[in-house]
Amino acid sequence: MAEHNGLRVFAPATVANVSCGYDVMGFAIDSPGDEVVVRFNDSFTGIKILSIHGDPDKKLPYETAKNTASVSGQMLLDEIGYTGKGIEMHIHKKMKSGTGLGSSAASAVAGVFAVNELLNRPFIRRDLLKFAIEGERIADGAVHGDNVAPCLMGGMVLVRDSHEAEAHRIFIPDGLHAVVIYPHVQVLTKDSRAVLDATVPLEKHIKQSANLAAMVLGFSRNDLGLVQRSMTDIIIEPQRAALIPCFYDVQKVAQEHDALGCSISGAGPSIYALFANSIKAEKAAVEMSNVYRQASVKHDVHLSPINMTGVKIV
Amino acid sequence: MAEHNGLRVFAPATVANVSCGYDVMGFAIDSPGDEVVVRFNDSFTGIKILSIHGDPDKKLPYETAKNTASVSGQMLLDEIGYTGKGIEMHIHKKMKSGTGLGSSAASAVAGVFAVNELLNRPFIRRDLLKFAIEGERIADGAVHGDNVAPCLMGGMVLVRDSHEAEAHRIFIPDGLHAVVIYPHVQVLTKDSRAVLDATVPLEKHIKQSANLAAMVLGFSRNDLGLVQRSMTDIIIEPQRAALIPCFYDVQKVAQEHDALGCSISGAGPSIYALFANSIKAEKAAVEMSNVYRQASVKHDVHLSPINMTGVKIV
């Protein structure tokens, strides 16, 4: 079969660790995102990665047991005891790893979603979460669903329990718009985790958890004032900000443009800011970008509504 | 004026530290509760406490600056620069302090609510919260609104910020019913605070805060399964359980009767359990009480719906 006969899926980038929701809140944006193409192949069994595009440094593994896309797909096959034709996989990376935009999560979701579609959906969409979380774990070493869940389901997602793969899309008002800025510096997730204290002062725990609950309540009620008061991070952000060039300057500009919240995307170095509408977001994006331009920090800017679809066939 | 011409208010008992909502979630029950009577008195200025009933050990102070009921009322007078007739206050305690049912909070709320009513409502109800929190602080030494807020507003309340007196009633399904058991042992709030570690492991913070947000979401969506999975406390309860006789035995019985959640009420020693309806609550109450009866622990049992009214004129 030629590649054009394959099944192609797109999995969007995601912002995880949304402010007070470290490891539990994430949302999807429209672009960038990864694509995965799958098709049946009689010449082997199980999953084989035949090509990886967009990985100039050849960092990503072809080995089925090591690539997040094939691991999640293979887990699905194992779960149903699949013994049919082999499945070849072609991965098109559209975002680098280490940007804080859920690159490995997007591949994990794309892989298992594509395999599920190819097999005519043995699972409903939300039941793919456990496979995607396991795929993500291969890349990251940690079990956390706040990238894979919004990548799979779209929208703004609260992950109650990553080990149980329990996640909930929460209601959000129409029109929310995100600015995501990726400064071209390298921050590895494991380094970003290493700077974190193993404990949290009780008072900060109380304040942060109240804000998380209030943020969910604010979104649910379309009370953006409440969202804005709640979208802060007094625990993780202060420990990681130093890893990111000009973080507080960029954040200040976002806040001056009435951002609902602005913090570190995932493990960084990307910075996200969320706005009530695209007009505010577009104005803010220009000024946030200017901070980096003036500091001679190379960077990319992404402007996007919250992606409400999640992974999809394209 | 005779006492029967006074204005009498009732302020309900409250369950604070609701499971994963330490210092931020509380709800009101119908009884017990405190009553406060106020009336004008020409013979002095400001507030004077003229009688305190239901305090056999004479522990509660008459001094205006030291009793939670008069402190909250006096703060209101100070805020509006009140220079009118004196206000005499009569306090009818219907619950002891140190039970974990928000005794001092009820007095603080009753005091300021009564004064506000007597002056023909210079403030709307929710704006009394800051005065009540300050009154509560006199008794407790800590600023926390998870007793006074539900006592004032009724219902199930999320306190986002006690210092800013920002609290939100959250939607809860009809019919919820609480069992509250008060074992006759003394646990002082300050002792109960002293056993707590100053820090929380990061992993527990993540899990507990996700559960808090999920509990709020579960109530909002009438998803009692989600409420039940979320209503746990992995941080505070394990540290305080030893202060309360037979805590885990009572909790186990509640859970066997399908409690949505069961944990320590406030700083203890009372134990609360929340149920989807009164039938389950009534059955559970008998068995929870039996645990204490068999262990020869004297105790009181309160059965109540969530009080949706809060403090009121009676």
Helices (H), A141-201: 148-153, 189-194
How far away is chain A from the Cα of B167, in angstroms, using its nearest Cα?
9
- Give the integer Cα–Cα distance in Å for A179 and A30: 11
* Stretch 154-173 of chain B: residues touching chain A, C-beta under 8 Å: 158-161, 166, 168, 170
* pLDDT per residue of chain B (314 residues) written in tens, 0 to 9: 444 578 999 999 999 999 999 999 999 999 999 999 999 999 999 999 999 999 988 889 999 999 999 999 999 999 999 999 999 999 999 988 889 999 999 999 999 999 999 999 999 999 999 999 999 998 777 888 999 999 999 999 999 999 999 999 999 999 999 999 999 998 876 778 889 999 999 999 999 999 999 999 999 999 999 999 999 999 999 999 999 999 999 999 999 999 999 999 999 999 999 999 999 999 999 999 999 999 999 999 999 999 999 999 99
ipTM attached to this prediction = 0.94
Q: Tokens 């400001």 sit at which residue? A: B46
Mark yes or no for CB contact B160/A230 under 8 Å.
yes
CA neighbor of A86 nearest in space, from A120, A115, A59, A128 = A115
- Give the integer Cα–Cα distance in Å for B202 and B210: 12
- Helix-strand-coil split of chain B, %, nearest 5: 40, 30, 35
B293 contact A CB<8A? no
Mark yes or no for CB contact A210/B170 under 8 Å.
no
The tokens describing B36, both together, are 């406060």
Residues on chain A touching B172 (C-beta within 8 angstroms): none
Residues on chain B touching A226 (C-beta within 8 angstroms): 160, 168
Residues on chain A touching B215 (C-beta within 8 angstroms): 213
Among chain B residues, the shortest Cα distance to A209 is held by B209
pLDDT tens-digit map of A17-51: 999 999 999 999 999 999 999 999 999 999 999 99
CA neighbor of A112 nearest in space, from A145, A154, A172, A68 = A68
B13 contact A CB<8A? no
pLDDT of residue A151: 98
Residues on chain B touching A170 (C-beta within 8 angstroms): 217
How much is the pTM? 0.95
> What is the set of domains in chain A, with CATH numbers?
3-171+309-313 (3.30.230.10), 177-305 (3.30.70.890)
pLDDT tens-digit map of A96-151: 888 999 999 999 999 999 999 999 999 999 999 999 999 999 877 788 899 999 99
At residue B30, the 3 state secondary structure works out as: strand
Nearest-by-Cβ selection for A168 from B206, B217, B235: B217
How far away is chain B from the Cα of A15, in angstroms, using its nearest Cα?
17
Mark yes or no for CB contact A24/B220 under 8 Å.
no
pLDDT tens-digit map of A251-278: 999 999 999 999 999 999 999 999 999 9
pLDDT tens-digit map of A146-201: 999 999 999 999 999 999 999 999 999 999 999 999 999 988 767 788 899 999 99
B234 contact A CB<8A? no
Residues on chain B touching A199 (C-beta within 8 angstroms): 199-202
Residues on chain A touching B207 (C-beta within 8 angstroms): 161
Which candidate in B24, B202, B239 is best for mutational testing of the A interface (most A CBs within 10 A)? B202
Helix (H) or strand (E) holding A183: strand A177-183
Residues on chain A touching B229 (C-beta within 8 angstroms): 160-161, 166
Mark yes or no for CB contact A196/B202 under 8 Å.
yes
B27 contact A CB<8A? no
Mark yes or no for CB contact A214/B168 under 8 Å.
yes
DSSP result, A209-268: HHHHHHHHHHHHHT-HHHHHHH---SSSHHHHGGGSTTHHHHHHHHHHTT-SEEEE-TTS
Nearest-by-Cβ selection for B159 from A170, A198, A210: A210
Mark yes or no for CB contact B209/A206 under 8 Å.
no
Mark yes or no for CB contact B160/A212 under 8 Å.
no
Residues on chain B touching A166 (C-beta within 8 angstroms): 229
Mark yes or no for CB contact A21/B159 under 8 Å.
no
